[in-house]
Structure 1
C-alpha cells in the first residue's frame, strides 16, 4: 500500500525534461541503500520484489522537480546577438543541482525578436518591477476578481427565503462570468494605461538612458527590500553594474564596480595577492 501511494505521488510530480540520473544513483548508492535497509527495516530484505521497487522509486525521485531545489535555484540569463541576427535574443534558465556530473535545470524562457517590439524582463525577484510597470501587483490582479466573485456569491446566499435554492444557483451561474470579465477588463486597462506607454518609450530611448532605466528598476526593488519587513529583507542591494548591448557597439559598460582603483600602485596590488 505504501509503495502504491509513493508511485501515485511520483506519477503526479513534475519531471525535469531530458534529465535522468536514476542509473547513476542506483550504481553509486546501492551499497548505502542496502546498509540503511539493514539498519532501519531489515524485514524488507525478505521481500526482494518490494525492496527493488522501493529502490527504483528512490532512484527516480532525483529526476523530479523538487521544492527544496526550485525554492533555492540559481538563475542564468544569456542575452545578445548572433552573427546573423539583426535583433537581440535571450535564454533564461534555472539551475538546481549537479548529480553525477549532469546539470539539473529548467528552461524558463526563450526569446527571439524579429521586429521592433520592446520588452522589460525582470529576473530573480520580479514583483516590484512588475508592479511599477503594471501599476498594480500581480497579487491584486488575481485577488480582485476572486474577491468580487466571493462577495457576489455571499450576497446571493444572503437573499431571503422567497428565493429558492435553484433560483440562487441560477443567479450564481448567470453571474459566474463576471470573474473572467473583471479580470479581462483589469488586464486590458493595465496594458493600455501602464505597460504600453513604458514599452513604447523603451524602444525609442537612447542606449545610455535605457541603462539608466534598468538601474532605476533595480534600485526601486532594492529600496523595498531595504525597508519593507516582508521576509525578503536585504536580498537586493549594493552597488549595481550596468551595461548595454547593441548590434553596432557590442557590449559596453555604463557603470561598473572595481575591486581596485585604476590608479593604485601595481606593486601594492601584487603584495595584496601575495598576502592572500
Structure 2
C-alpha cells in the first residue's frame, strides 16, 4: 500500500509520498496477503524536465514486470521530444495545456495497460501548470486493464488537500473523525437515510482548516511532509502489516521555479556519480 498527498495553495502545489511497495500473494479463496514489503519505490515524477509538471502514483506498482517509475521515464522521453517514433508528443513549452498533458498520460497508459493485462487498479495524479496558467491544476486518473476514469479534479484557482492510498490517519486529522464513522453510526442504530447527513454534520462541527489560499509554499511543503510522516507512524503502530513506510519524498511545483525536489532518495551515491 502507500500514502500519497497533494497540497494545493495559491502559489503552487506540493506532492509527497512514502516509499513502500507491497508484494501480495493471491490465495484460492480469493483473499490477498502481503508477503513482502520494500521501502524504496519511486512514486513522484517530473513529467518533463524544465516544466512545472508533476505526476504521482499509488496502487498497482508494476506493468509487465517494470515499475511505474520506469514507464513514466518512457513517457517523459516522448513529452521531451526524445522519442523519434513519437515526435508529435513533444510539448510546446510556449503553448501546452494541462488538458493536453492529461490526455497524453491517458493515451500512454492505455497503450501500456490494455485489457490483456491482469486487473490491478492504479492511481495517477497529474498536476502542475499549463504554459499560460497562473494557478496550478490537478487531475486524478484511475487506471486499470483497459479502462481509465477521472477521479478528483482541481481547477486552476482552487485549493485543497488530497490523499490516496491509506488515508485513515489523515482523515482523522483533517476531518476530526474516522472514515469508519458511517459504519459506526449504522451500528448504533442510526437509520440508513440519516447516516450520511449525520456524518457530514459531525465533520462540520469537528473538522479543522489546515490550508489557506495565501499559505506560502514552504508551509505547504511542511504540511504535506507532516501528513505523510504521521501516516507512516500511524500504520507502524496499528495492528497489521507496515504497508506505509520508507523515506518520505517531497516535491514542489510553482509557476516560476517549476518542479523542484525538496526531499529525494537515490539508490546510488551522488559523489560517485557526478
Q: Please, what TM-score do these two structures have when normalized by structure 2?
A: 0.51
Query: Residue 244 of structure 1 corresponds to which residue in structure 2?
Result: 252
CA distance in 1 between counterparts of 2:258 and 2:273 reads 31
Query: Which of 256, 259, 263 is equivalent to 2:271?
Result: 263
2:137 corresponds in structure 1 to: 89
1:128 pairs with one of 155, 164, 169: 169
Give the SS at the match of 2:231: helix
Distance 2:151 2:196 in 1: 25
Report how far residue 182 of structure 1 moved. 6.2
For the aligned residue pairs, the C-alpha RMSD in angstroms reads 2.9
1:129–1:216 Cα change, 3 Å:
same
Does 1:113 pair with 2:155?
Answer: yes
How far apart are 1:217 and its partner, in Å? Answer: 0.8
Call closer, same or farther: CA 1:186–1:112 in 2, change over 3 Å.
Answer: closer
Residue of structure 2 in register with 1:208 after alignment: 218
SS at match of 2:271: coil
Runs (5+) with no aligned partner, structure 2 = 1-113
SS of 1:132's equivalent in the other structure is helix
Aligned equivalent of 2:232, options 203, 222, 234: 222
| Equivalent pair of 1:76/1:92 in contact (CA under 8 Å) | yes
- TM-score, normalised with respect to structure 1: 0.50
Shift in Å at residue 213 of structure 1?
1.0
Residues 74 and 96 of structure 1 are in contact (CA less than 8 Å); yes or no, is this contact kept in structure 2? Answer: yes
Would you say 1:184 and 2:197 are equivalent positions?
yes
Aligned partner of 2:28 in structure 1 is: none
Which has more helix, going by share of residues?
A: 1
- Identify if the C-alpha distance between structure 1 residues 90 and 265 changes in structure 2 by more than 3 Å, giving closer, same or farther: closer
Structure with bigger strand share is: 2
Higher relative contact order (CA 8 A, sep 6+): 2
Asked whether 1:79 is paired with 2:87, we answer: no
8 Å CA contact retained: 2:142, 2:151: no
User: Distance in 1 between the 2:161 and 2:195 partners?
Assistant: 25
Seen in structure 2, the aligned counterparts of structure 1 residues 118 and 131 have a Cα distance that, compared at 3 Å, is: same
In 2, the alpha carbon distance for the partners of 1:251 and 1:180 equals 45
CA shift at 1:181, angstroms? 5.0
Aligned residues: 161
Residues 182 and 209 from structure 1, CA distance in 2 versus in 1: closer, same or farther, beyond 3 angstroms?
A: same
Counterpart residue number, 1:172: none
Match of 1:253 in 2: 261
Find the residue that maps to 1:235 and give its secondary structure: coil
Q: 2:189 aligns with which of 149, 170, 173?
A: 149
Q: Is the 8 A contact 1:93 1:105 kept in 2?
A: no
Q: Secondary structure at the match of 1:236?
A: coil
Residues of 2 paired with 1:146 and 1:239: CA distance?
A: 38
